[in-house]
């Protein structure tokens, strides 16, 4: 997922969610009667039938609480049950993610949002009388809140009871629910919901139950959104749509040549991510977003401009956001892999980017970042095969090798790859060692003394075990344990190799051997020897202990 231009990002500094729909997809249409005739034809009985679920009603307290929640919320607020399910599925695939916020700070299966520009969580609390904490954490309450928000929008739009019985008449309310600031993006969001209604939904949810929506013909009444599309095509990548991010969420131009592609996961939906990048409060963006269901691509920042997605990597990279959540591999479809790989192959050919894992990297592998995407469920071997490149090992573009079986003492007059690694790390931490040329001269010595002073170490200009440990461990302090992967683990393994004076395999995988090394370090430093790397262990490493 993308990051703001600088600084650490709180949970809100993320992106959105929802299922986008391509303008090229065919929508099944039926003859549309005039509104007056249709409203007159719809009776109270029809309203009740449309609000009720397709499947038999399930009472509260049964073995199917999610189905019951959708049924009861639909009845209470007069929202068609299938529409409510489709909105929730488009937002989250009916996964509440244990109350964790999305990139746009949305919660639960209905993605109730709490950010400066879109506050459906507030609206849900006002309409239901439920506390926000419960709306965030409790699935039934969250579904009820989503229904209340949709009904609030329907009332604001002036939909009559007869119109509310017409599924197609809800389109403008659904468009508002997505929170887009521009009509074209709102249409992208609402069209996605109606595509789900057209195709049907079958979603397994926690507890073993399945939520279903039967396919149906749809002819959404887009109203003002009818003139909002189709979206323009990208000039940089013709297969992609062009939906520009807000100008305050990226920098015009480049300060470095394009030399890398960074792979992200949105922690939210396709249309929601696009919408979030248009939100001036986001302070975040990416160049491209790829949809899970069919691999559709939308460009939001021109290649020639600098998207804010990977902090230190912004200047030289192009960021690709992939719809989904890091912990749910179901989002990473074959269509997404193939579409994304085709885009990466195009970018590599166009800008001369080597097709290897030093130049096609995950967000987690860019120095100075504290995110884990694309995570362990992303299949790098398959992706690189589709790109047509070398799966290899990850690394930073242009960086010298940092992995060594030992880190010997380095001082003025020393030369070689370990000196180059130290120079690179010093420069990355803001201590100017000059060019990483592998020659330990006066500039490098001055940079070492500056770094040592900043860490409370003896400022002697010599890189011994304590300085190596502090230098190699510097960076984000994300908690690690067995099963963790990525660049933070490699950084830990390097630091342990220096601190313990023995080789710890540097493979980016926190397995039993790394856990043993962590416990040995913790025991020797008077820390709780639990094999978990949290704030205290990171603090000790970064102080050179």
Contact 5, 315 (CB under 8 A): no
Q: With the CA atoms of 524, 529, 532 and 536 taken in that order, what torsion angle do they form, in degrees rounded to the nearest 10?
A: -60
CA distance 463 to 416: 14
CA distance 188 to 92: 16
**Using 50, 70 and 90 to split pLDDT, how confident is the model at 215?**
very high
If DSSP states are collapsed to H, E and C, what string results for 82-127? HHHHHHHHHHHCCCCHHHCCCCCCEECCCCEECECCECHHHHHHHH
CA distance 65 to 138: 11
Contact 420, 414 (CB under 8 A): no
| pLDDT one-digit tens code per residue, 31-64 | 333 333 333 333 344 444 444 444 434 444 557 8
Contact 355, 345 (CB under 8 A): yes
CA distance 108 to 143: 8
| pLDDT one-digit tens code per residue, 233-286 | 899 999 999 999 999 999 999 999 999 999 999 998 898 899 999 999 899 999
What number of other Cβ atoms are within 10 A of residue 53's Cβ? 22
CA distance 351 to 366: 19
> 197 pLDDT exceeds 70?
yes
User: Among 152-166, 357-371, 433-447, where is mean pLDDT lowest?
Assistant: 357-371
Distance of CA 19 to CAs 28, 301, 544, Å? 19, 20, 47
CA distance 324 to 339: 15
Alpha helices by DSSP H, listed for 288-378, are 334-351
DSSP secondary structure, 190-233, as one string: HHHHHHHHHH-EEEE-TTS-EEEE---------GGGGGS-SPPB
Name the pTM for this structure. Answer: 0.60
Average pLDDT over residues 332-361: 91
Q: Where in the chain is the domain with CATH 1.10.530?
A: 66-225
> 100 pLDDT exceeds 50?
yes
Q: What is the pLDDT of residue 22?
A: 28
- In CATH, what number does 414-543 get? 1.10.101.10
Question: In this structure, what DSSP letter does residue 239 have?
Answer: T
Q: What is the pLDDT of residue 159?
A: 95
Q: What is the pLDDT of residue 395?
A: 54
User: 241-387: which CATH architecture?
Assistant: 3-Layer(aba) Sandwich (3.40)
Contact 292, 92 (CB under 8 A): no
CA distance 371 to 476: 9
CA-derived radius of gyration, the chain: 26
On average, the pLDDT of the chain sits at 85
Q: Select the CATH number that applies to the domain covering 66-225 from these four: 1.10.530, 3.40.50, 2.30.110, 1.10.3470.
A: 1.10.530
Q: Where in the chain is the domain with CATH 3.40.80.10?
A: 241-387
Phi, psi (degrees; rounded to nearest 5) at 297: -120, 135
CA distance 171 to 157: 11
What number of other Cβ atoms are within 10 A of residue 411's Cβ? 15
> 334 pLDDT exceeds 60?
yes
| pLDDT one-digit tens code per residue, 131-166 | 999 999 999 999 999 999 999 999 999 999 999 999
| pLDDT one-digit tens code per residue, 494-544 | 999 999 999 999 888 888 999 999 999 999 999 999 999 999 999 999 999
Average pLDDT over residues 112-133: 92
């Amino acid at each position: 997922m993308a990051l703001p231009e600088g600084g650490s990002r709180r949970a809100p500094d993320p992106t959105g969610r929802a299922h986008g729909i391509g303008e090229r997809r065919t929508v099944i249409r039926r003859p549309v009667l005039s509104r007056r005739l249709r409203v007159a034809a719809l009776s109270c009985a029809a309203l009740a039938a449309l609000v009720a679920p397709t499947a038999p009603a399930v009472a509260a307290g049964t073995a199917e609480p999610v189905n019951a929640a959708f049924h009861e919320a639909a009845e209470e607020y007069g929202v068609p049950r299938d529409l409510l399910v489709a909105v929730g599925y488009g937002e989250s695939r009916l996964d509440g993610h244990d109350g964790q916020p999305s990139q746009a700070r949305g919660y639960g299966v209905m993605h109730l949002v709490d950010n400066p520009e879109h506050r459906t969580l507030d609206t849900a609390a006002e309409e239901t009388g439920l506390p926000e904490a419960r709306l965030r954490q409790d699935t039934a309450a969250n579904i009820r809140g989503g229904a209340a928000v949709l009904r609030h929008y329907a009332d604001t739009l002036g939909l009559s009871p007869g119109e509310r019985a017409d599924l197609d008449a809800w389109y403008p309310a659904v468009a508002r629910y997505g929170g887009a600031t521009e009509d074209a993006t709102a249409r992208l969001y609402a069209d996605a919901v109606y595509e789900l209604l057209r195709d049907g939904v079958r979603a397994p949810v926690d507890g073993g139950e399945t939520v279903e929506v039967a396919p149906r013909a749809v002819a959404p009444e887009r109203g003002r959104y009818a003139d909002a599309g189709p979206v323009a095509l990208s000039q940089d990548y013709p297969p992609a749509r062009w939906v520009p991010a807000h100008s305050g969420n990226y920098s015009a131009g480049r300060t470095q040549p394009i030399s890398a592609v960074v792979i992200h996961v949105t922690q939210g939906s396709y249309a929601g991510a696009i919408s979030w990048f248009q939100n001036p409060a986001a302070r975040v963006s990416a160049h491209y977003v790829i949809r899970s269901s069919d691999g559709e691509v939308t460009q939001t920042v021109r290649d020639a401009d600098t998207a804010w997605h990977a902090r230190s990597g912004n200047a030289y990279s192009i960021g690709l956001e992939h719809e989904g959540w890091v912990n749910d591999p179901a989002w990473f479809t074959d269509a997404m892999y193939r579409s994304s790989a085709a885009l990466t192959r195009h970018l590599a050919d166009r800008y001369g980017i080597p097709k290897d894992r030093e130049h096609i990297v995950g967000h987690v592998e860019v120095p100075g970042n504290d995110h884990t995407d694309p995570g362990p469920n992303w299949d790098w071997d398959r992706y690189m095969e589709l790109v047509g490149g070398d799966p290899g090992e990850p690394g930073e573009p242009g960086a010298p090798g940092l992995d060594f079986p030992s880190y010997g003492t380095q001082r003025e007059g020393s030369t070689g790859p370990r000196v180059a690694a130290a120079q690179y790390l010093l420069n990355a931490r803001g201590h100017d060692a000059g060019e990483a040329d592998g020659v330990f001269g006066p500039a490098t010595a001055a940079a070492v003394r500056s770094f040592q002073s900043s860490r409370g170490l003896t400022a002697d200009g010599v890189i011994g075990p304590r300085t190596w440990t502090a230098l190699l461990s510097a960076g984000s302090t994300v908690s690690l344990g067995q099963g963790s992967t990525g660049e933070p683990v490699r950084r830990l393994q390097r630091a342990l190799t220096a601190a313990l004076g023995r080789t710890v395999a540097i493979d980016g995988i926190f397995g039993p051997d790394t856990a043993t090394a962590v416990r040995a370090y913790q025991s020797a430093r008077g820390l709780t020897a639990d094999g978990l790397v949290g704030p205290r262990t990171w603090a000790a490493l970064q102080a050179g202990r």
